[in-house]
Structure 1
Amino acid sequence: MTAVQKRSAARTSPDARRGASRARSTLMLTAGSGVLGLLVWVALASSGIQGFPGPISVLERAAQSIGDGTLFGDLLASLRRVLIGFVLGVALAVPVGFLMGWYRPVRGLVEPWLQFFRMVPPLAIIPLAIVLMGIGETPKIFVIFLASFLSSVVSTFQGVISVDSTLINAARVLGARDRTVFVGVVVPASTPFILVGMRIGLGASWATVVAAELIAAQEGLGYRMQQAQLYYDLPTIFVQLIVIGLVGLIMDRALLLAERRLTSWQERR
C-alpha cells in the first residue's frame, strides 16, 4: 500500500469518521449557543431595562472605537502588560516548581510562603503595589506577574511530585543518573501540568490587568471601562467586555492548541 493510500485509509477509518462527527456536533452546539446568547441579549434590550444597549448600538460604538483608534490602542496596552507579567511569572515559576518537587529542603523552605501568598488574591496587592511602586506600569506588571507565577508554580510542583515512581526507579535500575532521570522522565511527565498551569495563569493575568487598570491607568481596556462608567456609557462598557472575553478566549485556545501538540503522546478522551 502506498503512502497516499495509507493516508486515505486513515481518513476513512471508523475512528476518523467518529472524530469528524464529534467535531461537527461540537461546532453546531457552539453555533447554537452563540445564536441563543444573541437572542437573549436582544430580548433583554427590548424588555425596557433603562439604558440596556442592544447589539446594534454596541456594534456602532465598536466601529466608532475602531475608527478613532482607541480600541486597538487600549487593547495593545493591556496585552503588553499581560504578556510581560505572564512571561516573567512563568519563567520564574517553572524552575521554582521543579526545585520544590525534586528537592525536599527547597520544598520545606518555599512551600509555606507559597501557600500563604496563594491565599492572598493578587487584586488585594494592588493598593500596596501602587503605594510602593507608584502609578506607572511597574505595579500593574507586578500583580500580573504574581498571578501567573502562583498558578504556574503550583502546577509545576504538582507535576513533579505526581510522576510515577515506577518510571523513575526503572530509569535508575537501567543506570540513569539523576540528571538523566530528571530530563528524560520528570520533565516530559510534568509538561501537561505545566501547560495547564500556564492556561490558568494566563486567565488570572488577564483578569488581574483589567482590575489593575480600573484603579490606576491612562490607557487600557479596564481604564476605558472606568471612564465609560463615569458617563454612564453602557455601549462602551459592553464593547470592552466583549473584547476582553474574546481576546481571553483566543489566548486560551492558543495555549490549548500548544498543549495538545506538545502532549500528543498523552491518551485523551
Structure 2
Amino acid sequence: MDVITTGKAAAEPATGTPAAPTRPQAARRRRVPPLVLNLIALALGLGVWALLASRGVGDLPGPVAVGRRAGEMLGDGTLEGDMLASLRRVFTGFALGTALAVALGFLMGWYPVVRGLCEPYIQFFRTIPPLALIPLAIVLMGIGETPKIFVIFLAAFLSSVVATFQGVVDVDRTLIDAARVLGAGDWTIFRKVVIPASTPFILVGMRIGLGSAWATVVAAELIAAQEGLGFRMQHAETYYDLDTIFVGLIAIGVLGLVMDRLLLLAERRLTTWQERR
C-alpha cells in the first residue's frame, strides 16, 4: 500500500509547483519572429558588403556610394521611370503567361486528350531558354514592346503551366470519388474539389514564374529599349558605372521581393485549410 501511495505521489506534481513546459510550448516561446530574423540577415549582409568594399575587393562599390547614386537617380526621376517601365513589362508578361498557363494546365490535367496533344510541345519548349528566342522575336515582332513582353510571357508561362497541370493530376482520387457518390457533377467537382486542391501548386508555379519573368526582363530590355532597369544597367556597363549597376540590381531584387511577398500573402489567404509548419 505504501508503495502504491509513493508511486502516485511521485507521478503527481506537488501542489503549487507549476508543471514543466512541454517541448512544443518551449519551442514556441523561444521562436524568434521572422521579421527580426530578416532584419538581422539584412544587417549582416550590409556589413559583409561594406567590409568587402572597404578592402577593395574587385572595385566593389560600398553601400554608401550605391545609396548616394540611388538618391541622385531618384532626384532626377531616372530610377522611378526605369522601375515603372520594367514593372509594366514584367507584370504584363507575367499576367498573360500565368492566365494562359492556369487555363491550359487545368485542361491538360482534366482531359487526357488535351494532355496528349499539348504535353509534347510544353516539354519541348521548356528545354529552350526564353532568351534564346529573342533573335526570333525581333525578326517576327520588330523592336517595339511586343517582343520584350513576349519573352517575359514565355518565361512565366512555361514555369506555371507544369505546376498547374501537376496540381490537377495530384488531386486525391478519393475526394473526387466521394464527391461523385454524393451526386456531384463534373463541373461541381472541378469547382469545389479540383480547383481548391490544386491552388497551392498553382501559386507555387506563379512564384517560380515571377522569378523567371524578372530574370528575363534584363535581357528583354536589350531589344532597342530606351528605359528600364535592364537598359540602364547595360548602359552603365559601357562606362563601367558600378554604382548604377548595383542600383539596378537592388531595384530588381526589391520589386521582385515585394511581388513575391504579395503572392505569398495570397497563398496564405487562399489555402487557410492547409496545414503549415
Distance 2:103 2:63 in 1: 46
Residues 1:210 and 2:218 aligned together: yes
Q: Does residue 1:194 correspond to 2:202, yes or no? A: yes
Alignment of 1:244-259 (within 5 A): 244-259=252-267
Match of 2:101 in 1: 93
Question: Kindly tell me: are residues 17 and 137 of structure 1, through their superposed partners in 2, closer, same or farther at Cα, counting changes over 3 Å?
Answer: farther
Aligned residue in 2 for 1:6: none
Q: Relative to structure 1, is the Cα distance of residues 232 and 23 closer, same or farther in structure 2, using a 3 angstrom cutoff? A: same
How far 1:60 sits from its partner (Å)?
A: 0.8
Aligned partners of 1:260 and 1:23: how far apart in 2?
A: 20
Assess if the C-alpha contact under 8 Å between 1:143 and 1:208 holds in 2: yes
Q: 2:35 aligned with 1:22, yes or no?
A: no
Larger radius of gyration: 2
5+ long unaligned stretches in structure 1: 1-13
1:53-92 matches, within 5 Å, as 53-92=61-100
The offset of 1:67, in angstroms, is 0.2
Compute the displacement of 1:98 (Å): 0.6
TM-score norm. by structure 2 comes to 0.88
Amino acid at match of 1:60: R
TM-score normalized by the length of structure 1: 0.90
**CA 1:91–1:162 in 2, change beyond 3 Å: closer, same or farther?**
same
**1:148–1:198 CA contact under 8 A, matched in 2:** yes
CA-CA distance at 1:16 after TM superposition = 9.6
* Aligned counterparts of 1:251 and 1:16: Cα–Cα separation in 2: 34
Paired residues of 1:98 and 1:160 also in contact (CA < 8 A): yes
Partners in 1 of 2:243 and 2:205 — Cα distance? 34
For residues 31 and 120 of structure 1, the distance between their equivalents in structure 2, rounded to whole angstroms, comes to 38
1:48 Cα shift?
2.5
Match of 1:214, SS state, is coil
Query: Residue 18 and residue 260 in structure 1: after superposition, are their counterparts in 2 closer, same or farther (change >3 A)?
Result: farther
Task: Count the aligned residue pairs.
Answer: 255
Q: Which residue of 2 aligns with 1:9?
A: none
One-letter code aligned to 1:166: T
**Identical positions, percent:** 70
Q: Compute the displacement of 1:263 (Å).
A: 0.4
Residue 120 of structure 2 is matched in structure 1 by 112
What's the CA shift for 1:51? 3.3
**Given residue 128 of structure 1, which amino acid in structure 2 is its aligned partner?**
L
CA contact (8 A) 1:214 1:225 kept: no
- Two-structure CA RMSD over aligned residues (Å): 1.8
1:140 correspondence with 2:140: no
Instruction: Please show how residues 135-174 of structure 1 align to structure 2 within 5 Å.
Output: 135-174=143-182
One-letter amino acid matched to 2:263: L
Between 65-74 and 186-195, the greater mean CA deviation after superposition:
186-195
Looking at structure 2, the residues matched to 49 and 186 of structure 1 have their Cα atoms a distance apart, in angstroms, of 53
